Amino acid sequence: MLKPTISVLVLRHVANCLDLVGCDPEPLLAGFHLRRNDLDNAKGVMPLEDFLGFLELAAVKAANPYLGLQAGRLGALNSLGALGFLFLSAPSLRAAFTGFDSYLATIQDAVRNRFSAQGGIATFEYMITDQTLQSRRQDAEFSIALMHNMCRNYVGGEFELIEVRFEHACQGDERVYREFFRCGVFFDQDTNSFSFEDHFLGCKSPVIDPELYPIVEEHLRRRVADSARRARSHKDIIRVLETSPLDRTPTLDEVAASMGVSVATLSRRLKAQGMRWRDLVNDRRMHAAARLLRQSQRDVAEIALSVGFAESASFVRRFGRHFGTTPQRFRKAGAENPPRA
């Protein structure tokens, strides 16, 4: 199965931030079989798993538990390549979010990125959908802080948030987060997001001439079309599964209908890849449960519901068959032996 990837340009920004805090990124890059000049390749990608691991390890090496937040705050115009230019050249902040929402997949796989506005409140949401990728705290904080910084660059210093939410439990001083975002920050949530008053959506950017926007958008549209032509059917199936809510997994019939094929055809394609639908669904739920047990403080009953089980007993039985231990023991083992980056 193809592993999700991310553009190396994002890692280039993180490496530059490490330089600024006096931590040499070269030894860290070497540990992931990368050199500094590899990060200048606009078409280069790396496994998303390696990117997440690099961020977690960099925070340890720099002795800075808030590295993701600070790297996000230092986000520059080219931190996201063409996608960053698209955002900052948009004719309005609403168009900036809409464009970002449409084209994030050009630099990163396995991500759910949503923008919505209703009831006077606008919300940006970011979440990695591949549940096998467990160590994601620094990435979540980096991504939310970077988008917040992009908004401040677009609107100006008057841009203010109403609230910020993170999937993971608070690790560190909660006051750091409140002072950083200048609003309430909530942990152990269903997603990573920030919200603000929607009157900012009409603002126009003083940073880049909006005439650049359609040019950059056409470039990204071609990249999306090229990617779609190269996509393999099993990758499409995985994408449908990953972008669905954990507590509402689509049936194979629904997936087949969304792809315009029969259930029999879809089953044959899965079988040819050595996969079964029910195994894919179960693996996703179990990996999500394992991550929540390790990285959040939610109780077992709440986790069971969040990953699609109607009651705790069936969840505990399924978890035991999958991991060979109970959820409680799994959580305790993780607390006593935290995973290394």
Q: What is the pLDDT of residues 267-295, one digit of tens each?
A: 888 888 888 898 999 999 999 999 999 99
Parse the chain into domains and list their residue ranges. 65-223, 232-275, 281-341
Angle at which helix 327-336 crosses helix 312-323, to 10 degrees, equals 60
Rounded distance between C-alpha atoms, residue 41 and residue 48, angstroms: 16
Cα 17 to chain centroid, rounded: 20
pLDDT value at position 28?
96
HEC readout, 12-81: HHHHHHHHHCCCCCHHHHHHCCCCHHHHHCCCCEEEHHHHHHHHHHHHHHCCCCCHHHHHHHCCCCCCCC
Rounded distance between C-alpha atoms, residue 277 and residue 255, angstroms: 10
3-state secondary structure of 38: helix
pLDDT value at position 341?
38
Look up residue 279 and give its two tokens.
Answer: 């195994």
Domain at 281-341, CATH class: mainly alpha
3-state secondary structure of 87: helix
Look up residue 187 and give its two tokens.
Answer: 């942990």
For 218-270, the pLDDT digits (tens) are 999 998 877 655 445 566 777 788 878 888 888 889 888 888 888 898 888 88
pLDDT score of 336 more than 70: no
Asked if residue 166 lies in contact with residue 187, where contact means CB atoms within 8 angstroms, the answer is yes
| 169-173, 205-209, 226-230: range with highest mean pLDDT | 169-173
| 339: confidence class by pLDDT, cuts 50, 70, 90 | very low
Q: Tell me the average pLDDT across 10-35.
A: 94
For 122-164, the pLDDT digits (tens) are 999 999 999 999 999 999 999 999 999 999 999 998 999 999 9
